[in-house]
A and B are shown apart, each in its own frame.
Chain A
Amino acid sequence: MKPEELKFAHSHEWAHIAQTDGKQIATVGISAHAIEALSDVVYMELPEVGAEVTAGASFGEVESVKATSDLFSPVTGKVIEVNTSLPDNLEVLSTDPYGQGWIIKVEITSDTSVESLLDFVAYEAICNE
């Protein structure tokens, strides 16, 4: 996926929203900017399928050599799929953060959570501040 097609949270997670069977499904990952800032990612803690996530709240953790960082959900809903091959393959976060580096898929239960997300241009502007 191209970053221009995505929505972004201030906390550097991205979301791709798609309609499937009348449901809104968000695919969630971390931006290239955040991956670069993290550097040396060594571990990722993912939620279980079925877990509830809330926009702005932590849904997992990513560890670099230096520090632990929370992953914040950009949307509110239920986790329907988790990228289980990612923790053993963390380089993919650097090589393909918007594609194979996806982390979870969420069935959105609250539309309003999507409204406050930024488009790519607005997100880039914050990063360059």
Chain B
Amino acid sequence: MTSGQFLETPLHQWHVDNGGRMVEFAGWSMPVQYASIVAEHHHTRTKLGLFDVSHMGRLFFSGHDVDQYLDALSTRRIVGVEPGKVRYSLICNDDGTILDDVLIYHLAAGGSFAAGDEQSDSFYMMVCNASNRAKINQWFADHLPAQSNLQIDDRTESTAMIAVQGPEANNVVASIASIDPAALSYYCGTVCKVDGGDAILSRTGYTGEDGCEMIVHSAVAAAVWQKLHDAAKFIGGGATGLAARDTLRLEAAMPLYGHELSEEINAAQTELRFAINLKGRSFAGRDAIASAMAEKTLPVRVGIELEGRRPAREGCNIIAADPTNQEVQEVQEVIGHLTSGSLSPTLGVPIAMGYIRPQYAVVGTELLIDIRGKSVAAKVVELPFYKRKDH
């Protein structure tokens, strides 16, 4: 699994052999791109892209009342969610700041992925960010109820995870899976077979395209990837690296931990209302999040589009624009900062996300972005920047 300093996914050799430019990411050696970032971005939106996301944490839970245990640590309601459903949630500190964003799966038991010894009809698992795997393991372990039989099984290093995204993604996966991913509703998942082996499949993704994500055992991952890749190449898709993954998720306005989400940010600021269920619930950070939502004084997440072609990047200051004053302003008031930014390959314009004082967070508000000392005109726009046609 490891040679040299970094962890390697089961697909590492394939990346190296197929032009992957390998970089360190969260302690793993990962492909940032193969040939061209823009080409990979486009083939994902027009055909399909394959992503090795095996570095992400995969935690399996077993024991009594797992649902209540997870519910108490999750901004999203988990109790009462039926098997077959996947929930996007934030995991927060007691002060409402964000430890991670995760997917929590409740799945009907089946095959070798069922967790624990208990003969249970269903089980829970969680996918977390690679950069937070140790932290999340620790947080969940620290919050195990006393005298419970709950267990956390981190199976990151014995499994692989592959995302297949794009208009042709589900067709390609259907050709080697026991079910058609298109038969799953959005944010639903199931245990099934892929290439004859046990797998977990979910209609989820991080690109704004249709498609699915699969978890398979490490030993079979390279063979599964090769089959998917051959089918993808045949119709004009292909392997997609971390750089294109970033431009794709940015266009879809999906937050990235370490950028839009961090322990410096209260969940209330994120404009992810759908992921926060307050009513009638008690969970870590709940009261701090509820207060922040009521007070509305903290900066909030917005989408920004800039004029011209010059990309702005995370860290750039957002400055209040004064359209009545064409002269250089002596005092430029900083009202926020960017957390992500790039030239959008699909839209052809520079886009960014950032946090801004709430009074400026209105669609249409004119802004200036300070890019290395130069002020560029910009405005607050609706999110997402990109929406696929059938959505």
Contact = CB atoms under 8 A, between A and B. Distances in A.
- A and B from one complex: yes
A39 interface: yes
Interface string A35-65: 0000110110100000000000000010111
Nearest to A45: B310
Contacts of A23: none
Interface residues of A, number: 13
A100 interface: no
A67 B247 CA distance: 12
Contacts of B313: 67-68
A65 B37 CA distance: 8
Contact of B309 (A39, A43, A67): A43
A45 B372 CA distance: 11
A78 B311 CA distance: 28
A66 B243 contact: yes
B343 interface: yes
Interface string B133-176: 00000000000000000000000000000000000000000000
What is the interface residue range for chain B against chain A? Answer: 10 to 19
Contacts of B309: 42-43, 87
Given A63-B343, A66-B243, A40 B310 contact: no
Contacts of B246: 66
Contacts of A67: 313
Contacts of B311: 42-43, 63, 65, 68
If over half of B's interface residues share one DSSP class (helix, strand or loop), that class is named, otherwise mixed; here it is mixed
B256 to A, nearest CB: 14
Interface in A13-32: none
Interface in A64-104: 64-68, 87
Nearest to B38: A40
A76 to B, nearest CB: 23
Contacts of B247: 65
30 contacts: A39-B33, A39-B35, A39-B37, A40-B37, A40-B38, A42-B309, A43-B309, A43-B310, A43-B311, A43-B343, A45-B310, A61-B372, A63-B343, A64-B37, A65-B37, A65-B38, A65-B41, A65-B243, A65-B247, A65-B343, A65-B345, A66-B32, A66-B37, A66-B243, A66-B246, A66-B342, A67-B313, A68-B313, A68-B372, A87-B309
What 6 A-B pairs are tightest by C-beta distance, nearest first?
A42-B343, A40-B38, A40-B37, A43-B310, A65-B37, A43-B309
Interface of B: 32-33, 35-38, 41, 243, 246-247, 309-311, 313, 342-343, 345, 372
Given A39-B33, A43-B311, A67-B313, 14 more contacts: A39-B36, A39-B37, A40-B36, A63-B310, A65-B37, A65-B41, A65-B247, A65-B311, A65-B342, A66-B37, A66-B243, A68-B311, A68-B372, A87-B309
